[in-house]
Structure 1
Amino acid sequence: MNKHALMLVLAALLAGCDNTAAPLSFTPEMASFSNEFDFDPLRGPVKDFSQTLFNEKGEVAKRVSGTLSTEGCFDSLELHDLEANTGIALVLDANYYLDAQTQQKKLRLQGKCQLAELPASGISWDTDDNGFIVSAHGKDMEVNYRYDADGYPLGKTTVSGEQHLSITATPAADKRKKLDYTSVSQLNEKPLGNVKQTCDYDSHDNPVECELEVVDESVKPAVSRKYTIKNSIEYY
């Protein structure tokens, strides 16, 4: 076999391996935290990441950043909503997340690194046998969460008094492109809005840059807004 033929065979074998290797599932912590703190879940041995949401003017609307241990626990998480002028930075300390500035205990954990309770608001979370958060309870409020076989969040249903809010996400059929999704929101079974996202991916099947369209159907005529999400991810 000549050198050129050998290179072709090796390339074909490597390509075959890449195509047949199943993408990694989402961990319970990553899936659950993304549900609660409104960011796109990531796969694999993530060391730190940031997700920045830009509006149509190119201005930063929201930013989420975090650092994770080799076990996949969030050592820190920082959230900034510039449109709402709100934000918080959390750091892990034993079985609590503390406010990074005040050192006040904000969130209590269960196990090594899963959410258990938000004491100030009286909210507590329940997990299934695999460690995924499946429900949350508070005063006059209950939330139920859904995931697919890969741990990807498929949405949630929130009941508070007479208000019934449901969010249903449908990811792309391609398992490597889970963050290409559409989602529909309904309030008391009436359309509230829908979202569509498409992304470019890295070698870990995580999104590098995404285009997001949000349609608000609660107003007439419906209002459509477009955003760009840029991710920075470092791996172990």
Structure 2
Amino acid sequence: MKRLLLLTPLLVLLAGCDKNDSPAAFSPEMASFSNEFDFDPLRGPVKDFSQTLMNEKGEVAKRVSGRMSEEGCFDVLEFHDLENETGATLVLDANYYVDGITQEKKVRLQGKCQLAELPAAGVAWETNDEGFVVKSLSKDREVEYQYDKEGYPLGKTSQTKGDTLAIMSTPSEDPRKKLDYTSVTLFNKQPVGNVKQRCDYDRHDNPLNCELEMIDMSVNPATTLRYTIKNVIDYY
């Protein structure tokens, strides 16, 4: 009996070591790319994913899909904006992303697979010591990005010809529900828009289905748009 009593606390300690109570952080690449290409960041060993934005009529408005390496690099990124009839496919090729159709070099990379430069537009990105993109610079615009301690994107501030556009996001206090957020958009310190999102989550704390509400206060009267986001995610 004494032997069993001694083993019991040891087993409890070992069980505690196996359990991970902290959600996975957002990688520098995932957080930075989501900032720059306007999609929701994901956690964990993502293999491939798609995010589909549908309007209140159930029509697809936008779709983003990606395939990632086990190291967390984006091997392929594909964008379809059906509302504006635009789209693009970026394919990783050495230290560039090339156009998936023409093979033209589009985005130069730094390090393993982080954004460095968009030569055709004269855009250059700067990273911090942790590898997150914290600034985007071009001839007419400067953008600064903010993140929380888990790497979740908290917003960005753009300076263009004396005008300032700031997007500030406040995620849920639940660390496993970061994509439940509210955000405000300010133009020269005046509110011009609000966004609210609520999601269902999978076992990796990534969103599966989300309800998105966007209020445009730049028009009078203000307009409200509601969307549904469907995420399909495969893991390694």
| TM-score, with structure 1 as normaliser | 0.92
Does residue 1:223 correspond to 2:220, yes or no? Answer: no
Deviations 1:187-206 (A, max 9, x none): 11111101000000000000
Does residue 1:167 correspond to 2:162, yes or no? Answer: no
| CA positional deviation for 1:21 | 1.3
Partner of 2:126: 126
Partner of 2:192: 192
**Structure 1: how far apart are the matches of 2:16 and 2:175?**
17
Q: Within 5 A, what are the aligned runs for 1:1-236?
A: 21-236=21-236
Which blocks of at least 5 consecutive residues in structure 2 are unaligned? 1-12
| CA positional deviation for 1:109 | 0.1
Which blocks of at least 5 consecutive residues in structure 1 are unaligned? 1-12
**Structure 2: how far apart are the matches of 1:207 and 1:18?**
25
**Structure 1: how far apart are the matches of 2:18 and 2:186?**
39
> Identity of aligned pairs, percent?
68
| CA positional deviation for 1:41 | 0.2
Partner of 1:7: none
Amino acid in structure 1 at the alignment position of 2:24: L
Amino acid in structure 1 at the alignment position of 2:149: A
**Structure 2: how far apart are the matches of 1:176 and 1:17?**
20
What is the total number of aligned residue pairs between the two structures?
225
Question: Judging changes above 3 Å, is the alpha-carbon distance between structure 1 residues 18 and 171 closer, same or farther for their aligned structure 2 residues?
Answer: farther
Question: Judging changes above 3 Å, is the alpha-carbon distance between structure 1 residues 121 and 192 closer, same or farther for their aligned structure 2 residues?
Answer: same
| CA positional deviation for 1:17 | 8.3
Amino acid in structure 1 at the alignment position of 2:67: T
**Structure 2: how far apart are the matches of 1:192 and 1:80?**
26
| CA positional deviation for 1:176 | 0.2
Amino acid in structure 2 at the alignment position of 1:34: S
Q: SS of 1:175's equivalent?
A: coil
